[in-house]
Structure 1
Amino acid sequence: MSLKSFAAKIFAKLVQAQTKAWANKPVQTQQKVFQMLLHKAKNTAYGRAHNFAAIKTPEDFRNKVKISDYEAVRPYVERILKGESDVLWPGKPLYFAKTSGTTSGAKYIPLTKESMPYHISAARNAILNYIAESGNAKFIDGKMIFLQGSPELSEKNGILFGRLSGISAHFVPNYLQKNRMPSWETNCIEDWETKINAIVEETMNKNMSVISGIPSWVQTYFEKLHQKTGKTIKEIFPNFDLFIYGGVNYEPYRTKFEELIGQQLPSIELYPASEGFFAYQDQQDAEGMLLLLNAGIYYEFIEAEKFYEENPKVYEIGEVKKDVNYVMIISTNAGLWRYNVGDTVMFTSTSPYRVKVSGRIKHFTSAFGEHVIAKEVEEAIQKASAKTKALISEFTVAPQVKPKEGLPYHEWFIEFEKEPKNMEDFTNLLEESVRSQNSYYDDLIVGKILRKLVVTKVKKDGFNNYMKSIGKLGGQNKVPRLSNDRKIAEQLEQFTV
């Protein structure tokens, strides 16, 4: 055992103990964060406009501050961009993380000297918790690849701009820099296809032990390695011991990954976003990710089904229940106040509080009142794939409201790596799973409002070609699992079989 891995084990036990300390006091931990946020920001432009100094309770907070989205924050961001200080948070942000908004165009999310350390420590602690739980630290001595955006940053009025993953690259600890791949030069390549080919060439003969990234990006990397060598990933990288991922649900990709890797492999799920690092998987055998209640973020939750009502009930930690679909509202030490991230989550545990991402509040299919969500279609495709031995590269679902003949239906656009032997069995399994999970959809089928779903096969690399055609290949871009209209479906039709 190297000195580095020995030290990591000691540090891991310390971090695990610290984590348990705040996780065992969830309500008190969140109360401290709430009071700290209001105290720090009371003299900012936003704090004065909403009379933070007079807020004593969460109820006061809800009465004085409306739930916001990026459009509500944009005027404050523009003031900061013009050089103003003390707008959303004391001083100026260190960075603005640029993200691609689906309705707002480019969005600029502030990262402050108080918030940025939590992005870094959360990723570090996820790995340390895994070491403490498993006792495995040998991967620390191997090469680690983080598939991420370019670390090159721009500057305006003393504030740096870039993608979150690129900004985070500047904070890799010195003791990991020698292990980190790809090289800085390769990481700075903007074109995704050129970049991934360069990463393959640079890493294929290295001692890779940890690989991290959004599953769809990593799958492309693995496929290119396999095409070039004819080997499984474990044959190429015999010391590859840990896969770290976030951004999308891994389960629909798992079967394909295990085939590419050549075996099952331990993994850690992360829940990072430009707005905050919200959760990470703290136990290998527990469903969901530990919600980070001590990380400068105050959480509120609203039941997704009631989110668009005039005055929906707002729940704090301590009031939420398992298996309910909630919209997550955050207030942060980066100056976001009662901000709707757009994600929906379900609690898998309330002791400690663990969540899984169930979808996006704007990404659902409910053209007929069924409100099918991402969690339901992902579970359906996972079960159907497992039972029929099919391998799925990518998929999305859209309603077909005006078919040329017959009743309306849900259309599933699926790119198969390996098709099921019997497509009808596969389709039936999808249908049965969605109906068993969603009573509204089942009622529509029984009532002959909808007919059985239809699977439309997408050509190999069809989803990549679609994303490329709209200028969103690579980066932090992901294919929505669900749409409530035909916009994506109509563009995908040119890439179907």
Structure 2
Amino acid sequence: MSIKSVAAKLFASKIYYDTLAWSKKPVETQQKIFKGLINDARETQFGADHHFDKIKTVHDFKKRVPVRDYEDLKPYIDKVRMGEKDILWKGKPIYFAKTSGTTSGAKYIPLTKESMPYHIEASRNAILHYIYETGNADFVDGKMIFLQGSPILVEKYGIKFGRLSGIGAHFVPKYLQKNRMPSWETNCIEDWETKIDAIVEETIEQDMTIISGIPSWVQMYFERLQEKSGGKKIGDLFKNFNLFIYGGVNYEPYRAKFENMIGRKVDSIELFPASEGFFAYQDSQKIKGMLLLLNSGIFYEFIKADEFFEPNAKSLTIGEVETGVNYALIISTNAGLWRYNIGDTVQFTSLFPHRVIVSGRIKHYISAFGEHVIANEVEKAMKEATDGTKIVINEFTVAPQINPLSGLPYHEWLVEFETEPENMEDFAEAIDNSMRKQNIYYDDLITGNVLRKVVVTKVSKNGFQEYMKSQGKLGGQNKTPRLSNDRKIADNLK
């Protein structure tokens, strides 16, 4: 056992007990965060506009500050982008993370000297919790890779702009820099396909122990490795590869394909990062869900998703939530985002400690007929339809077909198969049965002959990659939505 792995185990123990201390006091921890945020932002323009000097309680805060999305906050953000100080948070942010907005084009999310360290600590602590629970630390001596955006940053008005993952590349600890791959030069390649090929060249002969990234893009990396190696299993190329770290999308639809490509099962750690904050990470291999980070400069509120669009929807704090309910996630942060709707929905899998799963997007759903189907439901249906079979899925998305050429409307499942079902009708039936069990509104529509059962449409090999490329969203942190309430994606894929 190396000195580095021994040190990692000792540090992991410290972090575990530090986390245990605040997770046992969720309400107290969040109240402390709330008071700190209000005090630190009293002298900002946003604080003055919303009378932070008169806010004593969370109730006061809710009365004075409305829930906002990016477009609502944009006038303040635009001032910060032009170099003005003390607008949303004291001073100026040190970075702006550029993201691809689904409705508002590019979004620019501030990162401050107070908020940025929590992004780095959360990534580190996720691995340390894994080490503490499993006792496995040998991988720290091997090579590790995170498939990410370019670290090249542009500076304007004293603030650096870039992709979050590219910004994060500047914060790799010194003790990991020798283990980190790919090289800086390769990481700076903008074209994703060129970059993947360069990463394959650099890593194929290395002792890779950790691989991290959005599953769809790691899959592309694995495919290129197999092409280069003449079809070898990833586990044969990287004999000590035993930990996959991912975020952004649910891993379950990809798991069978990954295990087939790797040639064995590997442990995995799920993360819940975003430009707006690092919200949660998987702290146990044995328990479902990710630990919600209540002590990381973020004050959380939760609005029931099925009430979100009502005029007076009630927001809840951490002491009021329940398990199994779909909540829109609202955040206030030490980067100057106030009652900000990040667009994600979560469900609590446990309380004390509070663990969550990402259940979808508040705007990514299908409710063309009042069924309000969410991402978590379609992912579970796909898993149930493929479990115990030889079916392997590369990617899929779901859209409503409101005006079919004949017959009743339906939900169309557009699927790119690695291994197709022997009987497509049985496969569609299994998906439909799962959806009906999960969603009573969908079941009522089928029973009432408003909808017919799901229709599965095959997407050609690499069809999703070609679609993302056509949208200028190939690689990086981009991913195809699991479902949408219109046919923009579906019609492009077809």
Which position in structure 2 is the counterpart of 1:192? 192
SS at match of 1:464: helix
Structural mapping, 1:390-469, within 5 Å: 390-469=391-470
CA distance in 2, matches of 1:258, 1:386: 13
Partner amino acid for 1:258?
A: E
CA distance in 2, matches of 1:421, 1:256: 17
Partner amino acid for 1:43?
A: E
Runs of 4 or more, structure 1, over 3 Å off, are: none
Q: Given the alignment of the two structures, is residue 374 of structure 1 paired with residue 391 of structure 2, yes or no?
A: no
CA distance in 1, matches of 2:488, 2:124: 39
SS at match of 2:86: coil
Q: CA shift at 1:476, angstroms? A: 1.4
Partner amino acid for 1:120?
A: I
Which position in structure 2 is the counterpart of 1:122? 122
SS at match of 1:13: helix
Structural mapping, 1:279-428, within 5 Å: 279-428=280-429
Q: CA shift at 1:313, angstroms? A: 1.5
Q: Any idea what the Cα deviations from partners look like across 1:138-167, whole Å, max 9, x if unmatched? A: 000000001000000000000000000000
SS at match of 1:336: coil
Structural mapping, 1:110-149, within 5 Å: 110-149=110-149
Structural mapping, 1:195-274, within 5 Å: 195-229=195-229, 230-274=231-275
8 Å CA contact 2:368, 2:485 repeated in 1: yes
Q: CA shift at 1:381, angstroms? A: 0.5
Partner amino acid for 1:391?
A: V
8 Å CA contact 1:96, 1:108 repeated in 2: yes
CA distance in 2, matches of 1:237, 1:475: 23
C-alpha RMSD over aligned residues: 0.6
Partner amino acid for 2:491?
A: E
Q: Any idea what the Cα deviations from partners look like across 1:341-393, whole Å, max 9, x if unmatched? A: 00000000012100000000000000000000000000011111113321000
Which position in structure 1 is the counterpart of 2:19? 19
SS at match of 2:303: strand
CA distance in 2, matches of 1:80, 1:310: 30
SS at match of 1:102: coil
Partner amino acid for 1:160?
A: K
Which position in structure 1 is the counterpart of 2:154? 154
Q: Any idea what the Cα deviations from partners look like across 1:428-472, whole Å, max 9, x if unmatched? A: 110000000000000000000000110000000000001111111
SS at match of 2:315: coil
Which position in structure 2 is the counterpart of 1:85? 85
Q: CA shift at 1:479, angstroms? A: 0.4
Q: CA shift at 1:421, angstroms? A: 1.2
CA distance in 1, matches of 2:475, 2:225: 17
SS at match of 1:355: strand
Q: CA shift at 1:312, angstroms? A: 1.0
Q: Between Structure 1 and Structure 2, how many residues are aligned? A: 493
Q: CA shift at 1:73, angstroms? A: 1.3
Which position in structure 2 is the counterpart of 1:50? 50
Which position in structure 1 is the counterpart of 2:472? 471
CA distance in 1, matches of 2:258, 2:372: 30
Q: CA shift at 1:331, angstroms? A: 0.1
Q: CA shift at 1:325, angstroms? A: 0.2
8 Å CA contact 2:150, 2:163 repeated in 1: yes
CA distance in 2, matches of 1:188, 1:52: 42
SS at match of 1:387: coil
8 Å CA contact 1:388, 1:421 repeated in 2: no
Partner amino acid for 2:427?
A: F
CA distance in 1, matches of 2:251, 2:270: 8
8 Å CA contact 2:327, 2:346 repeated in 1: yes
Q: Given the alignment of the two structures, is residue 61 of structure 1 paired with residue 69 of structure 2, yes or no?
A: no
Partner amino acid for 2:472?
A: G
CA distance in 2, matches of 1:82, 1:261: 48
8 Å CA contact 1:281, 1:290 repeated in 2: yes
CA distance in 2, matches of 1:388, 1:431: 17
Which position in structure 2 is the counterpart of 1:182? 182
CA distance in 2, matches of 1:91, 1:492: 46
Q: CA shift at 1:424, angstroms? A: 1.3
Q: CA shift at 1:58, angstroms? A: 0.7
8 Å CA contact 2:301, 2:318 repeated in 1: yes
SS at match of 1:382: helix
8 Å CA contact 1:279, 1:289 repeated in 2: yes
Partner amino acid for 1:275?
A: E
SS at match of 1:388: coil
Q: CA shift at 1:226, angstroms? A: 1.4
CA distance in 1, matches of 2:477, 2:246: 13
SS at match of 1:441: helix
Q: CA shift at 1:227, angstroms? A: 1.9
Q: Any idea what the Cα deviations from partners look like across 1:9-46, whole Å, max 9, x if unmatched? A: 00000000000000000000000000000000010000
8 Å CA contact 1:370, 1:440 repeated in 2: yes
Partner amino acid for 2:463?
A: G
Which position in structure 1 is the counterpart of 2:493? 492
Q: Any idea what the Cα deviations from partners look like across 1:67-104, whole Å, max 9, x if unmatched? A: 00101111111111222100000000000000000111
Could you tell which deviates more after superposition, 113-122 or 77-86? 77-86
8 Å CA contact 2:147, 2:476 repeated in 1: no
CA distance in 2, matches of 1:344, 1:273: 13
Partner amino acid for 1:246?
A: G
Task: In structure 2, list runs of 5 or more residues that go unmatched.
Answer: none
Partner amino acid for 1:340?
A: N
CA distance in 2, matches of 1:414, 1:83: 46
CA distance in 2, matches of 1:445, 1:256: 31
CA distance in 2, matches of 1:430, 1:337: 40
SS at match of 2:253: helix
Partner amino acid for 1:152?
A: I
SS at match of 2:319: coil
Q: Any idea what the Cα deviations from partners look like across 1:171-220, whole Å, max 9, x if unmatched? A: 00000000000000000000000000110111000010000000011011
Q: CA shift at 1:249, angstroms? A: 0.4
CA distance in 2, matches of 1:311, 1:147: 42
Partner amino acid for 1:433?
A: S
Which position in structure 1 is the counterpart of 2:166? 166
8 Å CA contact 1:234, 1:262 repeated in 2: yes
